[in-house]
Structures are given as structure tokens and as C-alpha cells.
Chain A
Amino acid sequence: MSARSPDLWVVMAAYNEARVIADVVADVRTAAHRVVVVDDGSKDATADLAASAGAIVIRHPINLGQGAALQTALDFAVTQGADIIVTFDADGQHRAADIAGLIDALTRHGADFALGSRFLGSSSNLPPSRRALLRAATWFTRVTTGLDITDSHNGLRAMTRRGASRIHLRQNRMAHASEILHQIAASGLKYVETPVTIHYSAYSLAKGQTLFDALLIILDLFARRLHR
């Protein structure tokens, strides 16, 4: 890396997030100059509001899913010369203030991935059922990937350009969070976990995953292994 400061891009996938996207983008812009929002075929004004708030907006012509939108954002950021890419949820549950901690962890440990963990940090308003589901998902991920992690489904993570180039998501929908971890494990690149804070609002909880979603994720991951 040269002497210039690393080019930091924050990317997020958004689908029908008109209620919160402007505030989220404005918040993130306090931490990063370049913010990319992939509007995943929203039916509301998400794209326009994100653009007005200062984000670079990429519009999927059709709804493909969060995983597909995230891969689009990673591809775009890498081709545009990003040095560090942070993935951030568009529903307002993350804090822009945690981005600095992720970047610091990357540089301090010489890692290619810094994964946010609400269980090392904190979370407010996390229902017990959701906590149990996340714990089970983390246990499953630890067993299947061998990664020593405490939070398998946290959308707040940072990666170097080299790390991002090793991510090729084929799970378009919610299973992408597990797929990223599988690909991180397969890459052999160094990863660290960093404490982050997640604030659950009624809005973000309504968009979260249920036990049924978790079963679909497992099926998705299994089906993906059946074909090339």
C-alpha cells in the first residue's frame, strides 16, 4: 500500500428502505467519503433518497436478494479502486462509529477481514429468541467452517481489497452471510473479530430473520453444493 491514506468505501444493500436510508447514508458519510448503496429493485424511493444523501447508487433492474446486491457492491468498489471495503446494513441497526474500530483491527492485526461481533460488543433490544437463533447459527458456522467466531450473521464487516477479491457470492439471498464465512475460511486469509454495537429497532427486527428463514438458509447452502 502506498503512503496515501487507504481509499475506504462503505457499501450496503438496500431493498425498500426509504424510511431509514437517508439517515443511514448521512450517518455513514461521517465515517467514509465514499458510500455505495445497491438498490435491489426497490419499489419505493430508496434509490433517490440514498443518492440525495450523498451515496453512489447502483440500481439492480430487478430484485435479486441481499447477497446478490452485496456482491454487486463489492465488485463495483474493487473495480473503482477501493483499498478497504466495509459492508454495512441499510436498516439502521449498525453504528457508523464502529467503522473506525474495524479499520483499526485490519491494520493492527494485518488481517484481510475484520468481522463485527455483537457478542463481543453489545446489542440493545435483542429478543431472547433471536439471540438463541444467532447462537445456534454461530455454532453451526463454527462447526462447518472451522472459523473461531462469535457472531456468524453480522452484516458489519471490513475487508481489504485483497480480501474482497476473494469473495464471490452465489447465494443471492440470506444464506450469503454464511457463504462469506465459508469463503473467508477457504481463502486462508487472516481474519479478526471486533466488538460492535447493534441497535435493534422495531423496524430492523421486522426485517430480521426467523427460525423458518434459518431453515431455508441451511437448505440453500445444501442445494448450492449439489450443482456446479
Chain B
Amino acid sequence: MIAQLLLTAMLFTILLYASMTYRQAPIIGLLSVAAAFGGLYFVWVPSHATRLAELVGINRGVDLILYTWVLISLIMLLNLHLKLRAQLELITLLARKIAIADAVNSLPSSEGRRS
């Protein structure tokens, strides 16, 4: 019971994370929601987890829950990667503005913009 409550709390945290992520990366948000709901279902209906686990060749329901958790971790890693990419895009825009402003300032007047 303690493990179930702990896992439930963690999976609700994932749902919160998914709702925050959805605006920036809808696919990640949806995957996280699906994984978290799947995890919650298996935590509270372990017999179904065991049946599904046997069906896919994992044997034990508890292992399936662990695999679900690994999947969620991977999705979060992917999201971290996407966030880093988004940050890099912002850094690129900033660096570009600085570089172009410097270049324009150092242009001789004859090289300036044509009307």
C-alpha cells in the first residue's frame, strides 16, 4: 500500500509536468499523460498489470510498472533535450542580433543600406 501511494504521488507529479510541457511540446505532453495514466491504472489494478505483462512476455506486473517508469524517464529526458534546443534557439537569436548590430556599426558609410 505504501508503495502504491508513493507511485501514485510520483505519477501525479508526472501529470503536472505533462500539463506544463504540453504548450511547448504537445507530443511530449501527450506521451507523458498516456504513460502516467497507464502507470496509475496498473498501480491500482495490479491484476490487469500482471495479465498484460504475461501477454507481452514480461511475466510480472510489477516489472511492467517499472518498465512504465523507465519509459516516463526517457520521455522526460527527451523533453529536457527539446528544452535545451529551445534555449539554444534563443541564444542564437541573441547572438545573431549582437553580431549584426556590430557589423552594421562597423560598416563604412559607402557600404550602407541601399535605398
Q: Which residues of A does B touch, CB under 8 Å?
A: 7, 34, 38, 56-62, 64, 68, 71-72, 75-76, 79-81, 170, 172, 223-224, 226-228
- Chain A residues near B115 (CB-CB < 8 A): 81
Interface of B is mostly: helix
- Chain B residues near A60 (CB-CB < 8 A): 95-96, 99
Complex Cα gap A25–B109 (Å): 21
Q: Which residues of B does A touch, CB under 8 Å?
A: 24-25, 27-28, 78, 81-82, 85-86, 88-89, 91-92, 95-96, 98-100, 102-104, 107, 111-115
Closest B residue to A7 by beta carbon equals B114
- Chain A residues near B88 (CB-CB < 8 A): 172
- 9 A-B contact pairs sorted by A residue (CB < 8 Å): A57-B103, A58-B102, A60-B96, A61-B99, A71-B96, A76-B104, A79-B104, A172-B89, A227-B82
Contact A76 B100 (CB under 8 A): yes
Contact B99 A72 (CB under 8 A): yes
Complex Cα gap A80–B113 (Å): 4
Complex Cα gap A16–B104 (Å): 23
Contact B114 A59 (CB under 8 A): no
- Chain B residues near A57 (CB-CB < 8 A): 103
- Chain B residues near A61 (CB-CB < 8 A): 95, 98-99
Complex Cα gap A181–B89 (Å): 20
Contact A226 B82 (CB under 8 A): yes
A97 to chain B, nearest CB (A): 25
Contact A59 B113 (CB under 8 A): no
Contact B27 A226 (CB under 8 A): yes
- Chain A residues near B92 (CB-CB < 8 A): 64, 68, 172
Closest A residue to B103 by beta carbon equals A58
Complex Cα gap A79–B107 (Å): 13
